[in-house]
Amino acid sequence: MRFQVLMLLALSAGAVASLDYLPVCREIARAVSNVSAVFYPGSGFFEADVWHWAISSYELSTCSVEPGSAADVGVVPQILGTHRTPFAVKGGGHASNPGFSSTKGVHISMTRFDTVTYDAAAQTARLGQGSFGTTSYGLVTPDGNERTVTASDEDLFWALKGGGNNFGIVTHFTLNTYPQTDGGTLLYGPDQLDAVQDAFATFTTFNDPKAQIITTINSVIGVPGVAQLLFDDAPTPPPGIFDAFLETPSLINTGKSVLIFDTVTVRQFTPDLVKAILNESEYLGTRLPLETEYLLSYDVEPFAANYLLNPNRTSPTSAFPPVRSEGVPLNLYFAWILPSFDSKMQQAARDSVKRIQQLELALGPGETALPRYPNYAIYDTPLEDMFGHEGQMRVLTVTLSLLIAFVSVVAANAPQSTASACTPSCPLGDKNDSALGSSDSNDSAGTITCYYPMSSAAPKEFSCTYSSANGQLTADDDEGLCPSSAATSCTSRRKRSSENRVQNIVRKYSNMRAAAVHGDVGIAPTREIPDFVKSRARLSRRIRAYAPPIIVAVMHA
């Protein structure tokens, strides 16, 4: 069990839930079966659903939905997509990045998918949440269909293993199981840092793939320390392998008992690099402000090499790591109390990653930075930094392919176009964007001029031309930015336009990916990949400009 430092984070007493999406909440409550439920602020169930251990990932939603069946999991996104409602999906709520499992709209809590079933004959366990060693996924895709995803579904199975959270809502995982063995955690004070560093160097001389450690280097309000996890995947550890750690005086020894994050991947944890990480925690510990309590933690995980780099493991291919030749993650965990220090602490994490990455490259032998671990990468990490260039293209292709199915379902259920007239109006943006615009002219011919975005110094101008004769709207750009107001004829046409737009995107980038695989073209990400897909924080947000929301799955519990 990984050592964790628990902190109590104060939530704002003045937070007020939005009522903007109350009609959507009530529609969901009417649509789901009696094994599911919808809760509202003031309910204990609601508070439990939206609660997060870190205030950075907490938002007060309009309501929370607890689906109790895969069928109801499929119903909810159809309603959200029809009304273009912001939403989030929370599994265990481990994510600390803002907005990854929280929303001001509809909060989907997977708390009712909590069963564990063990198959002794197959030596597998079916869990409501989990991800490691997965042999199959129970997935509800954005079009509302329940699927069991295995290695035979090559692209989707690959993407689910570390590819992010845009492929559907995972209802359960089927995992391989292994016998539980002994392990424990030791906590060392600042006077033992040199001894722990020497013990780490001694451990690296052993060549036992079953013996693993995690060295967590912490700084709590400037006071350094180390939490050391020891584990051996055998009935009895080899003699002497952990002696250097066990003989060093510790504050806590659990014996045989069983926030923002960021990450940098290194090729090898050498003694020089570990020393630099110790220096990094001490350096920041003396320079960060004392106006807020904080914790700095650097998790050195040399154990991961045996699992990430071994090509004979159960799951040899996955979105992460994109290559299995080298590299293990170093995870950074910075926690603090006051939201006013968000920017300073987040930048401190980014700067620390950059310094360690530069040192790792200077020590050699590698010449380029390695992919970063997606579950811990800070929210604005570029996709290519996690999956590599080819990997980000494949992740995008799988995401948009699933989106097509969802848009098709929504469009099929929309009212069909009629000849009735409708009044044109400029579209509005989602909560993460400025308003797309408002009109400054509306002539007798039915032309309305809009500006996007309104807050930009150089707003993009586009025109929506309206003809009252047949109720059709057309635009002079290729973005599909001209929906109507409330008329059903324009609404259904907007959805079909969205579907066509997404299909064109999928075809374009599928062709680009195929060309890259066969070496036909050299793709420059900064030139050929749109800005809205360069970071995972933008991918889910910006795709909503073309279609109803895609489904976000929490891939770690």
Q: What is the pTM of this model?
A: 0.55
Comparing 259-263, 389-393, 413-417, 490-494, which segment has the lowest mean pLDDT? 490-494
Q: Is the pLDDT of residue 11 over 70?
A: no
Distance (Å, whole) CA 221 – CA 477: 54
pLDDT tens sequence across 250-275: 877 765 433 455 665 656 667 777 77
Q: Which domain holds residue 376?
A: 183-388
| Cα 265 to Cα 331: distance, rounded to the nearest angstrom | 8
Which uninterrupted H or E stretch holds 186?
Answer: strand 183-188
* Average pLDDT score over residue span 27-52: 91
Instruction: Determine the pLDDT at residue 241.
Output: 83
Half-sphere exposure of residue 513, counting CA atoms within 13 Å on the CB side? 18
Closest CA to 173 of 211, 134, 221: 134
Please check whether residue 548 lies inside any domain of the structure: no
pLDDT, tens digit, 9 for 90 and up, residues 124-180: 888 885 333 445 566 777 667 778 888 888 888 888 887 777 788 888 888 888 777
pLDDT of residue 96: 75
- The Cα–Cα gap between 240 and 237 comes to 8
* pLDDT for res 1: 32
Q: What percent of the chain has pLDDT over 90?
A: 6
User: What is the DSSP annotation of 451-513?
Assistant: EE-TTSSSPEEEEEEEETTTTEEEESSSS----BSS-HHHHHHHHHHHHHHHHHHHHHHHHHH
Whether residue 243 is contained in a domain is answered as yes
Quote the pLDDT of residue 399: 73
* Residue 175 near residue 133, CB atoms below 8 Å: yes
Most confident of 22-36, 134-148, 321-335, 367-381: 22-36
Give the tokens for residue 307: 């699992």
Mean pLDDT of 71-75: 89
Residues 431 and 307 in one domain: no
- Mean pLDDT is lowest, of 52-56, 337-341, 376-380, 553-557, for 553-557
For CA atoms 70, 402, 127, 55, give the dihedral sign: negative
Of 249-253, 305-309, 420-424, 509-513, the one with minimum mean pLDDT is 420-424
In angstroms, the CA 546 to CA 479 distance is: 8
pLDDT mean over 39-64: 87
Quote the radius of gyration of the chain (alpha carbons, Å): 26
Centre a 10 Å sphere on the Cβ of residue 368 and count the other Cβ atoms it contains.
5
Mean pLDDT of the chain, nearest integer: 67
Amino acid code (one letter) for 38:
V
Residue 528, token pair as written in the block: 């050929």
Phi, psi of 263 (to 5 degrees): -155, 155
Are 372 and 463 within one domain? no
**CATH code at position 195:** 3.40.462
Q: Which residue has the tokens 């069990």?
A: 1
- Euclidean distance between CA atoms 280 and 275, whole angstroms: 9
Q: Are 342 and 232 within one domain?
A: yes
Q: Are residues 368 and 477 in the same domain?
A: no
Confidence of residue 197 (pLDDT cuts 50, 70, 90): confident
Helix (H, G, I), strand (E, B) or coil at 391: helix
Any idea of the CA torsion for 194, 200, 206, 208, to the nearest 10 degrees? 160
Q: With beta carbons less than 8 A apart as the criterion, state whether 125 and 119 touch.
A: yes
For residue 428, the number of C-alpha atoms closer than 13 Å in the C-beta half-sphere is: 5
* 275 belongs to a structural domain: yes
Predicted confidence (pLDDT) per residue in 490-548, tens digit: 333 444 444 455 455 555 545 544 444 443 333 333 333 333 344 444 444 433 333 33
- Residue 121 to residue 124: CA distance in whole angstroms: 8
Residue 233: inside a domain, yes or no? Answer: yes
Q: Are residues 227 and 320 in the same domain?
A: yes
Residues 469 and 320 in one domain: no
Domain endpoint, select from 388, 404, 429: 388
Token pair for 166: 């845009």
DSSP-assigned letters across all residues of 33-101: -TT-EEE-TT-HHHHHHH--SSGGG----SEEEE--SHHHHHHHHHHHHHHT--EEEESS----STTSS
The identity of residue 444, as a single letter, is S
Structural domains in the chain (count)? 2
Does 297 lie in the same domain as 188?
Answer: yes
Residues in contact with 13: Cβ distance below 8 Å, sequence separation at least 6, in sequence order: none
Over 50: is that where the pLDDT of 552 sits? no
- Rounded Cα–Cα distance for residues 15 and 430 (Å): 21
> Domain for residue 73, yes or no?
no
The percent of residues above 70 in pLDDT, for the chain, comes to 56
Q: How many residues does the chain have?
A: 557
Lowest mean pLDDT segment, chosen from 8-22, 286-300, 410-424, 477-491: 477-491
Q: What is the pLDDT of residue 326?
A: 65
Predicted local confidence at residue 325, as pLDDT:
59
Same domain, 323 and 281: yes
pLDDT value of position 243: 85
Residue 521 confidence (pLDDT): 34
Residue scoring higher pLDDT (73 or 252): 73
325: number of Cβ within 10 Å: 9
